[in-house]
Amino acid sequence: MSFIAIASRTLSTEKEDLTVEIGSPSIDDGGMSKCEYRILDSSGGIRETGHFFGIDSTQVLLFCLTGVGDYLRRFEPSASFVGLPTSGFPVTDLDAKDAWTAIVSLPTR
């Protein structure tokens, strides 16, 4: 199945603008839900791609969004959405015990 973006967000970084595209969740050959993402540089070239698996499309979409947030936090910490000091993507709470937990900071302006 080809990549079909269902959502995108442009972020500013210290070096250039990046565009994050989230793909439509699909079912793989083993019956698991799969969701892909890609991060494009300012010229539209693919800088990073990845995918996540989950039990259903909602879970895998949450995993994918958080995976993007974790990637940006580690490799593009200056990523900013609408001039705010956050990308607006959820990130993994590394202090959580006994459960996977994500935190999201949503811009309000």
Q: Find the mean pLDDT for residues 76-96.
A: 92
Better-predicted residue by pLDDT, 20 or 103: 20
Domain count, the chain: 1
Question: In which residue are the tokens 């698996």 written?
Answer: 53
Q: Report if residue 108 sits inside a domain.
A: no
Name the H helices within the chain: 57-75
Mean pLDDT of the chain: 93
Q: Report if residue 84 sits inside a domain.
A: yes
Q: Find the mean pLDDT for residues 87-100.
A: 90
Q: Report if residue 109 sits inside a domain.
A: no
Q: Find the mean pLDDT for residues 76-103.
A: 91
pLDDT of the residue at 35: 98
Residue 37 is part of which domain span?
5-103
